[in-house]
Amino acid sequence: MDKYRISGGKALSGEISVSGSKNSALAILPASLLINGITRIKNVPNLKDVCYMLNVLESLGVKYSFSGSIVEIDTRTLSKYIADYDLIRKMRASIYVLSPLLHRFKKAEVSLPGGCAIGTRPVDLHIKGLKELGVEIELEHGYIEAKMTQMKGKEIYLDFPSVGATCQLMIAGVLAAGKTIIYNAAKEPEIEDLGKFLNSAGGQISGLGTNEISITGVDSLHETEFSVIPDRIETGSFTILGAALSKNLTVNNTIPHQIEALIEKLQESGAEITVSQNSIHIKKSGRPQGINVKTLPYPGFPTDLQAPLMAYLTVADGPSIINETIFENRFHHVPELNRLAADIKIEGQTAYIKGVPSLEGAPVMASDLRGGFALVLAGLIAESETIINRIYHIDRGYEELETKLQKIGADIIRIK
């Protein structure tokens, strides 16, 4: 298993570029199963999670090519309506194949994804919504067994603005008969991107980016070409890195307003940040001030940046409090940060961070994607050497991370 070796304590400067959005790609790739033909998707990040998703599609009979950042999917050979446990368990987003398979075959069998490191993460809202659209669903031996004659548009109220359920129901509603309205929908930019992709193929979806998404069903979708947005969580991760360590860092190829909640929090902590159309410029300004943060659905502070922000606040001048409201078990990075001499205590869903003057390098272990990035950041802040084990978690969501970081002056190498 690969590891990172980091020699920390170095100031970073220069320009760093953001790749395409992982979570957009993970919704758009399975949604392309709705199109009987060829879909060309650009700006796709070359990540483990994207490869898992392409494997899932391939297992269903689809042909694809992935060259540079362009994926071409040919669904004319789609032949299977069963998505096995071994494929789904690797990545929860594989559950998005459920609605397209239903539209293509009138039936689908998709393994339940199960829990994961950051929480139990049920899919009850996906299932409840699909049942409201007229799908018959049984849960048998760990599988969702679904069948239908035709989906019929309906008004659906989500108990929680779930990203996954909103994507699933948009993918379902676009080919349902009549009108589907999703109330209390999630507003994350990746959902807007999925909607724009579906509209580019002939879908009729409005209200994107609001909590009321309205879908007028169409008979079929046509072939299309689409470019995914830049990854806002990678943008946010690099912006935090800049606030922690940079003399002058520019994050390029991004949509700055999508991380407004983070920018405001970093400015509150004392970082100097200016924004231009597609770039963010950051300078560290002494030790950060302690701040309080609560994770919330978009446009609130993203749960995916909770761990990286915590790593930054470990060396704040004053205490910070982080309250995690989205996932019930998303503090696995805390004991590892404490191994690097941070002083963090957890009570329930809240982390109390007592800022310390500096961190010390140590061997640590990544246990999830964003927590893994938090350890990279902490390792870069720490004065001596840090070894990060299990970096396959980081490879799921950061494209060529060490290469990007080396270019801005970080001393980080991958040990094979």
Scanning residues 112 to 151, which ones bind ligand UD1 (CB under 6 A)? 119, 121-126
Q: Give the residue from 183, 384, 136, 188 showing the smallest Cα distance to 297.
A: 188
Cβ distance to ligand UD1 smaller for residue 326 or 381: 326
- From the CB of 318, what's the least distance to ligand UD1, in Å? 28
Tokens 């084990």, located at residue: 389
* Burial call 212-239: b when 16+ CB within 10 Å, e when fewer: ebbbebbeebeebebbbbbbbbbbbbbb
Spatial separation of the C-alpha atoms in residues 104 and 30, rounded to whole Å: 12
For ligand UD1, which residue has the nearest CB? Answer: 164
Quick one: which of 165, 229, 249, 410 contacts ligand UD1 (CB under 6 A)? Answer: 165
- From the CB of 222, what's the least distance to ligand UD1, in Å? 26
Scanning residues 289 to 318, which ones bind ligand UD1 (CB under 6 A)? 303-304
- From the CB of 415, what's the least distance to ligand UD1, in Å? 27
Secondary structure (3-state) at 413 = strand
- From the CB of 113, what's the least distance to ligand UD1, in Å? 9
Cβ distance to ligand UD1 smaller for residue 180 or 386: 180
Cβ distance to ligand UD1 smaller for residue 135 or 382: 135
Other Cβ atoms within 10 Å of 301 Cβ, number = 25
Quick one: which of 16, 31, 93, 245 contacts ligand UD1 (CB under 6 A)? Answer: 93
Quick one: which of 87, 263, 273, 326 contacts ligand UD1 (CB under 6 A)? Answer: 326
Distance from the first to the final alpha carbon of the chain? 7
Q: Give the residue from 204, 262, 191 showing the smallest Cα distance to 233.
A: 262
**Binding-site size, ligand UD1 (CB under 6 A):** 22
Q: Give the residue from 393, 233, 401, 231 showing the smallest Cα distance to 304.
A: 233
Q: Where are the beta strands (DSSP E) in 196-331?
A: 205-206, 212-216, 224-227, 246-252, 272-275, 280-283, 292-294, 320-323
Cβ distance to ligand UD1 smaller for residue 124 or 155: 124
Residue 158 makes contact with ligand UD1 by CB under 6 A: no
- From the CB of 300, what's the least distance to ligand UD1, in Å? 10
Q: Per the residue annotation, which of 70, 116, 117, 177 is the catalytic one? A: 116
State both tokens at 71. 């994926």
- From the CB of 102, what's the least distance to ligand UD1, in Å? 17
Cβ distance to ligand UD1 smaller for residue 154 or 396: 396
**Looking at 67-75, 156-164, 254-262, 283-291, which segment touches ligand UD1 (CB under 6 A)?**
156-164
Cβ distance to ligand UD1 smaller for residue 44 or 410: 44
Q: Where are the beta strands (DSSP E) in 75-216?
A: 82-83, 107-111, 136-140, 143-147, 155-157, 179-183, 205-206, 212-216
364, β-bridge pairs = 388
Scanning residues 18 to 47, which ones bind ligand UD1 (CB under 6 A)? 23, 26
Contact 59, 47 (CB under 8 A): no
Scanning residues 355 to 414, which ones bind ligand UD1 (CB under 6 A)? none
Other Cβ atoms within 10 Å of 49 Cβ, number = 21
Quick one: which of 11, 76, 160, 346 contacts ligand UD1 (CB under 6 A)? Answer: 160
- From the CB of 210, what's the least distance to ligand UD1, in Å? 16
Spatial separation of the C-alpha atoms in residues 191 and 197, rounded to whole Å: 10
- From the CB of 378, what's the least distance to ligand UD1, in Å? 20
Spatial separation of the C-alpha atoms in residues 171 and 100, rounded to whole Å: 7
> What is the per-residue binding string for ligand UD1 in 173-202, x denoting contact by CB under 6 A?
-------------x---x------------
Cβ distance to ligand UD1 smaller for residue 22 or 339: 22
Quick one: which of 45, 164, 236, 355 contacts ligand UD1 (CB under 6 A)? Answer: 164
Cβ distance to ligand UD1 smaller for residue 248 or 349: 349
Q: Give the residue from 99, 245, 255 showing the smallest Cα distance to 168.
A: 99
For 400, phi then psi, to 5°, come to 45, 50
Tokens 């589907």, located at residue: 180
167 is catalytic: no
Active site residues: 116
Binding site for ligand UD1 (CB under 6 A): 23, 26, 92-93, 119, 121-126, 160, 162-165, 186, 190, 303-304, 326-327
